[in-house]
Amino acid sequence: GAVVSQHPSRVICKSGTSVKIECRSLDFQATTMFWYRQFPKKSLMLMATSNEGSKATYEQGVEKDKFLINHASLTLSTLTVTSAHPEDSSFYICSASREGTTDYGYTFGSGTRLTVV
Amino acid sequence: RKEVEQDPGPFNVPEGATVAFNCTYSNSASQSFFWYRQDCRKEPKLLMSVYSSGNEDGRFTAQLNRASQYISLLIRDSKLSDSATYLCAVKYEYKLSFGAGTTVTVRA
């Protein structure tokens, strides 16, 4: 089955530093990957859609210069939270779309819990 | 209006009970519908897709009502292990939008 690996699972960083989160599709090629953020007891909010080899498409209200997304290959997308602040503390989850499959929803990575202190 | 809305619950039910809850969506052009299960501090996992004619997977039954723009999930013979947050998800084009989840707690 489709497996998406996300690292790190948990990170604590100091305010002002940058954090990179990786999302890999292990057994399929993901032409499209999605990045979500989830605050406690809230729904997953789509931040951006990344397509291999092109610029990411950001949702309204998401700062593209703060949340840098790179999708350099068909199996890897990265999200970098730049100059992180405590309000960026959240659960970040990636998901991937498997090209050519029928629609069974998307496969999620295990998520990254970011705490900015 | 939110794209996808759910009753947050919690629904506290005894083992063996039946519990059901709905999810409404605002975009009438939505194409696909899903129920995900999310355990505390974990990623969502696909529980089942929801088809127009309704579908069943073991103790779980999902229904779609396009006219009223809602989907439902029914859990029969609840188990302790069914305790989780259930997220509905609605897809339009490539985007999957989620509700905030309905929390179900099954007690012994």
Q: How do the pLDDT tens digits run along chain B, 108 residues long?
A: 789 999 888 999 999 999 999 999 999 999 999 999 999 889 999 999 998 899 999 999 999 999 999 999 999 999 999 999 999 999 988 888 999 999 999 999
Q: What is the pLDDT of residue A99?
A: 59
Q: What tokens does B49 get?
A: 């897709």
Question: Pick the residue with more confidence: A107 or B85?
Answer: B85
Q: Does B16 touch chain A (CB under 8 A)?
A: no
Joined together, the tokens standing for residue A75 give 């199996």
> A88: helix, coil or strand?
helix
Mean pLDDT of A57-68: 94
- Say if B79 is an interface residue toward chain A (CB within 8 Å): no
Question: Residue A51 has what pLDDT?
Answer: 85
B97 shares contact with chain A (CB less than 8 Å): yes
CA distance A42 to chain B (A): 5
Interface probe for B, chosen from A31, A42, A43 (most Cβ of B below 10 Å), is A43
Which one is predicted more confidently, A27 or A1?
A27
Examine the pLDDT at A64 and tell me if it is beyond 80.
yes
Q: In what order do the strands lie in the sheet with B70-75?
A: B4-6, B19-25, B70-75, B60-65, B55-57
The answer to whether B47 and B64 have CB atoms below 8 angstroms apart is: no
Q: Is the pLDDT of residue A100 over 70?
A: no
In a 3-state reduction of DSSP, which class is residue B89? strand
Question: Which pLDDT belongs to residue A1?
Answer: 65
Determine the average pLDDT of the residues in A11-18: 97
Provide the pLDDT for residue B29. Answer: 94
Rounded to whole angstroms, the Cα distance separating A21 from B92 reads 27
- pLDDT (0 to 100) of residue A45: 93
Which structure tokens are listed for A33?
């990957």
With cut-offs at 50, 70 and 90, classify the pLDDT of residue A42.
Answer: confident
What's the pLDDT score for residue B105? 97
Please report the number of interchain residue pairs, chain A to chain B, with beta-carbon separation below 8 angstroms: 51
